[in-house]
Amino acid sequence: MMIAVGRKKFQLRRPKSKKKIPAAVSSSAATEPPPPPPWIELPRDVTANILHRLGAIEILESAQKVCTTWRRVCQDPTMWRVIDMKNLGDLHDMPYDLSIMCRHAVDRCQGQLIDINIEYFGTDELLRYISQRSNNLRRLQLACCYSISGKALREAVKNFPQLEELHLFFMSEISAGDIESIGTSCPMLKSFTFNDRGYKFPLIECDNEYALAVAKNMPNLSHLRLFGNKLMNEGLEAILNGCPHLESLDIRQCFSVNLVGDLGKRCSKQIKNLRRPCDSTDDYEWDAEIYDCESFDDNYWSSGYSDIYFGDYDDYTNTNPFGSEYFSDNEVWFFDHDYF
């Protein structure tokens, strides 16, 4: 179209159409979503089998948070028939409460619990909580649970009529009387462990109380471990007489037992798998350090007494338990080992 403006003519032209530039395609739209992780496609039973290899702490703190598939598997009560609360004992450095975590695991099993292992953090209250919800328990292991009393353990096992295995490691509050009660309450017990630390003191007090408690109250045992026990030959003989079905016996670091002679021959004949007092401890799952005279510094034995008893006198009462030859009313004298 022509337009006359004065003498000049201008031609209005249709503006050239601009080619449409396609909007930049976002990388997320252009790229296909990544395939799901391969473990999501695994059959449920295979996934459960893999997760079973983890401990309860790893499952609750990590595995169940990986994906919804794993979380559903971890919520299945059958996943919690076995609860392993194994840890390194550094409870103060942990960002979580193992006691609360253990209760959560017990709740998830919905009464189907058959096997549980508790280390370091066990208490009377926790043991009672477990016993009230797990009357099908068949295996119980307690290690370094110094806050569990003998009374609490006695009461708990009364709710475990099907208990076949009881393993106690470094449980200092358990007495021989508790062992007797446990044997009476658990007639199906087949495997029993009561392990302590080995001692080699010249004047260490030895006794057969625990051995006699086992011999008189656990006649159906097939496997017995008394690592580091203070029993003597008489106690071992009682066990051989009272536990006729015994197949394996571990008396490593029981240094008050002498297997030279007829007793040693009888053990070899009657017991298929015998671990003797001085046998290797390389396969032992706990610290097997022997406590003997060399475990302490020279000051312990220089006077025949421990520095635990002869240190700075910090009791500022008027009572003087050591006599006037060591302390006076006006000043405090410290012990000189050369005096003795």
Confidence at residue 88, expressed as pLDDT on a 0 to 100 scale:
83
Confidence at residue 30, expressed as pLDDT on a 0 to 100 scale:
55
pLDDT in tens, 93-121: 888 899 999 999 999 999 999 999 999 99
Confidence at residue 312, expressed as pLDDT on a 0 to 100 scale:
39
* Count of Cβ atoms closer than 10 Å to residue 315 Cβ: 9
Confidence at residue 276, expressed as pLDDT on a 0 to 100 scale:
98
Domain ranges of the chain: 39-287, 296-340
Residue type, 323: G
234 membership: H or E segment, kind and range: helix 233-242
pTM as predicted: 0.74
Angle at 306 between CA 302 and CA 312, to 5 degrees: 105
Best CA proximity match to 291, nearest among 225, 214, 230, 208: 230
- Kind of pairing, strands 2-5 and 8-11? antiparallel
Per-residue tens of pLDDT for the chain, all 340 residues: 555 545 554 454 555 555 555 555 555 555 777 777 766 777 777 888 888 888 899 998 888 888 888 888 888 899 899 999 998 888 888 888 999 999 999 999 999 999 999 999 999 999 999 999 999 999 999 999 999 999 999 999 999 999 999 999 999 999 999 999 999 999 999 999 999 988 776 656 789 999 999 999 999 999 999 999 999 999 999 999 999 999 999 999 999 999 999 999 999 999 999 999 999 999 999 988 887 755 544 444 433 433 333 333 334 334 444 444 433 344 333 333 443 3
Best CA proximity match to 198, nearest among 262, 125, 138, 250: 250
Q: Is 195 helix (H, G, I), strand (E, B) or coil?
A: strand
* Count of Cβ atoms closer than 10 Å to residue 265 Cβ: 11
Which structure tokens are listed for 48?
A: 């459960």
Confidence at residue 134, expressed as pLDDT on a 0 to 100 scale:
95
* Count of Cβ atoms closer than 10 Å to residue 45 Cβ: 10
Confidence at residue 82, expressed as pLDDT on a 0 to 100 scale:
95
Confidence at residue 54, expressed as pLDDT on a 0 to 100 scale:
86
d(CA 310, CA 279): 37
SS3 content of the chain, % helix, strand, coil (to 5): 35, 15, 50
Alpha helices by DSSP H, listed for 53-198, are: 56-61, 68-74, 98-109, 124-131, 150-157, 176-185
Who contacts 110 (Cβ-Cβ below 8 Å, separation ≥6)? 77
Was domain 39-287 assigned CATH 3.80.10.10? yes
> How many Cα atoms sit within 13 Å of 176 on the Cβ side?
14
Confidence at residue 288, expressed as pLDDT on a 0 to 100 scale:
86
Confidence at residue 47, expressed as pLDDT on a 0 to 100 scale:
80
d(CA 235, CA 232): 5
